[in-house]
C-alpha cells in the first residue's frame, strides 16, 4: 500500500486549483505542473501513445494483449481541485490503523475530524486513512482517481498474464468548474465506453446525475445620501435579499437528499448601486429542472415589473446557462456497461452502491458527446473542504475494480444479448483482428 500512498501524496502536494473566472483552458497555468508530471509518469510505466495538448488534456493507451476483438474501454479522472477551498500547500497526514476515535487535524486551531459528526469514518476502523492538516482540502477529488488509474495500468503492464483489450486513459483539467469535458476529443480518445473514477465511498456506482444550470443575476440600485433617501434610494443588496427569499423554502443543499433538487446560492457581493448574485440549479428530473429555471425567470419579471416605474428600466438582469444533463438517458440504452462494473465489484466482494450522483462528473458531458461514461468510486469523503479524507484500502479496491473490468471486458461476448442486456456470464474467445 505504500506505493499507492507515495503516488497519491506526490499528486496532492501539487496545487492544481481551477479558476471559474478565467477564460483560458486550463483555467490556471499551475494545472500543467501536475499534467506534465503525469505525462512523464505514464511514459515511464510503459503506456503508449501518451499525448498532452495545449489545453492540458492527457490521453494514453494500454495496447490489447489478446488475439480476439475486444471493445476499447476508457478510464478518466480530473487533476484540478475545487476553488471552493484552498488546495495550496497540502500537507497530508497518515493515520494507520484508525481506532474509530477523533482525529486531530490541527491542534493549534482545534480542528477535529470526528465520527460523531462524520459517521462514515466508522466504516474504516482499522484501516489507513489519509487526511488533511486542517488548513487545506486534500485533493482526493480527483487525484485518488488518477492514482488508481495509473496504478492499475502499471499493474496490468507488469502482469501480462491478465488478459485485456485496448484501454484508453484520459486526464482532464477544470472539471471542478464544469468545463472538464469542454475540449475533450471523444473521437481521438476512441473508446466504445468509459468510466470516470470520481465517486466517493467504496462501492459507489452511478449512472444518474443532476441536470445542472448556473445562474448569474445582477441587481441595480440608486445611491442617495441616507439622510435624504426616503422615496429615492434603491438598495440593490436588499433587492437581492428579497429575491433570495422568493425561492422555495426547504430546497437548499443542506435540506435535500437522494432525488430531491435544489437552489443553491454560491456567492453574493455588492453595494447600494449594484449587487451580483451567483446560484446554481440542480434536479435529476428534466421537467422539474425546467420548472426551476422558469421560476427564476418569473421572479425576475416580478421584480422588474415592481420597479419599472421607479427605476425606469430592468432592475434585475438574469442569465441562466445550462452546465450538464442527466447521463441516465445516454447510459440506459447500454446498461451492460453498468452491469459489467457491478459484476466486477461483486467478484471482489465489494457491495455495489448504485445511486444517483448529487452532482456531476466529466462523464455527464461525455455521455452526451457520444462516450457513455458511468462513474465509479474513488474512495474519498468530505470533498471540497478541510475534513476531506481517503482510506488507502478503498483506493486499492478501486484499483482492483479497474483491473477486473478490464479482465471481464476481454472475456465477455458482447454479441450475446438477453432482454436488451449483454450476457455477462463469460464467453469463448473468438479469433480475429485486434480492435485498434
State the pLDDT at residue 432: 41
Bridge partners, residue 316, by sequence:
219
Are residues 355 and 232 both part of a single domain? Answer: no
Are residues 276 and 357 both part of a single domain? Answer: no
Does the pLDDT at position 118 exceed 50? yes
Are residues 6 and 140 both part of a single domain? Answer: yes
- Residue holding cell 472475456? 411
Are residues 238 and 156 both part of a single domain? Answer: no
Query: How far apart (Å, rounded) are the C-alpha atoms in residues 158 and 151?
Result: 11
Are residues 218 and 296 both part of a single domain? Answer: yes
Q: What is the pLDDT of residues 57-91, one digit of tens each?
A: 999 999 999 999 999 999 999 999 999 999 999 99
Query: How far apart (Å, rounded) are the C-alpha atoms in residues 362 and 89?
Result: 26
Catalytic residue among 15, 80, 192, 400: 80
- Residue holding cell 499493474? 155
Bridge partners, residue 61, by sequence:
48, 168
Q: Assess if residue 114 is contained within a domain.
A: yes
Are residues 156 and 177 both part of a single domain? Answer: yes
Q: How confident is the model at residue 163 (pLDDT cuts 50, 70, 90)?
A: very high
Q: How confident is the model at residue 420 (pLDDT cuts 50, 70, 90)?
A: low
Q: What is the pLDDT of residues 336-358, one digit of tens each?
A: 999 999 999 999 999 999 989 89
Domain hosting 384: range is: 2-208+327-422
Extended beta strands in 231-343, E state: 262-270, 274-283, 316-324
Q: Is 175 a catalytic residue?
A: yes
Are residues 186 and 267 both part of a single domain? Answer: no
Q: Is 80 a catalytic residue?
A: yes
**Cβ–Cβ < 8 Å for 89, 136:** yes
Sign of CA dihedral 398, 404, 408, 409: positive
Final residue before a domain boundary, out of 303, 324, 345 = 324
Q: Assess if residue 273 is contained within a domain.
A: yes
Are residues 20 and 116 both part of a single domain? Answer: yes
Look at the pTM and tell me if it is higher than 0.85.
yes
Are residues 129 and 231 both part of a single domain? Answer: no
Are residues 52 and 167 both part of a single domain? Answer: yes
Structurally, the chain folds into a number of domains equal to 2
Backbone angles phi, psi at 321, to 5 degrees: -125, 120
Q: Assess if residue 428 is contained within a domain.
A: no
Secondary structure element (H or E) that encloses residue 58, with its range: strand 58-62
Are residues 168 and 109 both part of a single domain? Answer: yes
Query: How far apart (Å, rounded) are the C-alpha atoms in residues 273 and 430?
Result: 72
Query: How far apart (Å, rounded) are the C-alpha atoms in residues 104 and 114?
Result: 8
Catalytic residue among 175, 198, 342, 400: 175
CATH code of the domain containing 67: 3.40.630.10
Q: Assess if residue 126 is contained within a domain.
A: yes
Buried b or exposed e, range 102-130, using 16+ CB within 10 angstroms: ebebeeeeebbbebeeeeebeebeeebbb
Amino acid at each position: 500500500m505504500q506505493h499507492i500512498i507515495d503516488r497519491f501524496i506526490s499528486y496532492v502536494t501539487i496545487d492544481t486549483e481551477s479558476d471559474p473566472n478565467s477564460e483560458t483552458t486550463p483555467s490556471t497555468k499551475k494545472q500543467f505542473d501536475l499534467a506534465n508530471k503525469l505525462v512523464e509518469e505514464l511514459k515511464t510505466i510503459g503506456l503508449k501513445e501518451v499525448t498532452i495538448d495545449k489545453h492540458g488534456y492527457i490521453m494514453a493507451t494500454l495496447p490489447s494483449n489478446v488475439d480476439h476483438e475486444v471493445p476499447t474501454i476508457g478510464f478518466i479522472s480530473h487533476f484540478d481541485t475545487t476553488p471552493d477551498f484552498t488546495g495550496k500547500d497540502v500537507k497530508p497526514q497518515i493515520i494507520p490503523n484508525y481506532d474509530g476515535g477523533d482525529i486531530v487535524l490541527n491542534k493549534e486551531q482545534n480542528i477535529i475530524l470526528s465520527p460523531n459528526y462524520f459517521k462514515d469514518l466508522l466504516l474504516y476502523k482499522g484501516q489507513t486513512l489519509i487526511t488533511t492538516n486542517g488548513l487545506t482540502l486534500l485533493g482526493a477529488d480527483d487525484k485518488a482517481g488518477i492514482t488508481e488509474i495509473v496504478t492499475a495500468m502499471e499493474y496490468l503492464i507488469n502482469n501480462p498474464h491478465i488478459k485485456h483489450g485496448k484501454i484508453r486513459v484520459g486526464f482532464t483539467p477544470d472539471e471542478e468548474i464544469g468545463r472538464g469535458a469542454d475540449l475533450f476529443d471523444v473521437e481521438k480518445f476512441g473508446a466504445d465506453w468509459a468510466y470516470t473514477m470520481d465517486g466517493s465511498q467504496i462501492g459507489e456506482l452511478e449512472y444518474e446525475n443532476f441536470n445542472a444550470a448556473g445562474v448569474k443575476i445582477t441587481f441595480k440600485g440608486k445611491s442617495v445620501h441616507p439622510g435624504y433617501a426616503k422615496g429615492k434610494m434603491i438598495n440593490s443588496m436588499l433587492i437581492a435579499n428579497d429575491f433570495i427569499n422568493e425561492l422555495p423554502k426547504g430546497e437548499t443543499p443542506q435540506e435535500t437528499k437522494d432525488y430531491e433538487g435544489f437552489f443553491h446560492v454560491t456567492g453574493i457581493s455588492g453595494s447600494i448601486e449594484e449587487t451580483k448574485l451567483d446560484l446554481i440549479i440542480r434536479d435529476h428530473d428534466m421537467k422539474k429542472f425546467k420548472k426551476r429555471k422558469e421560476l427564476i425567470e418569473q421572479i425576475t419579471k416580478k421584480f422588474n415589473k415592481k420597479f419599472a416605474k421607479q427605476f425606469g428600466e430592468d432592475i434585475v438582469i438574469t442569465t441562466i446557462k445550462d452546465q450538464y444533463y442527466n447521463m441516465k438517458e445516454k447510459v440506459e440504452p447500454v446498461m451492460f456497461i453498468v452491469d459489467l462494473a457491478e459484476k466486477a465489484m461483486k467478484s471482489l466482494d465489494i457491495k455495489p452502491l448504485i445511486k444517483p450522483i448529487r452532482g456531476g462528473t466529466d462523464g455527464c458531458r461525455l455521455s452526451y458527446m457520444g462516450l457513455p461514461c458511468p462513474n465509479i468510486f474513488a474512495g474519498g469523503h468530505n470533498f471540497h473542504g478541510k475534513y476531506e479524507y481517503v482510506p488507502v484500502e478503498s483506493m486499492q479496491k478501486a484499483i482492483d475494480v479497474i483491473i477486473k473490468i478490464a479482465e471481464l471486458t476481454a472475456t465477455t461476448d458482447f454479441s450475446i444479448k438477453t432482454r436488451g442486456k449483454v450476457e455477462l456470464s463469460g464467453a469463448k474467445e473468438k479469433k480475429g483482428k485486434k480492435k485498434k
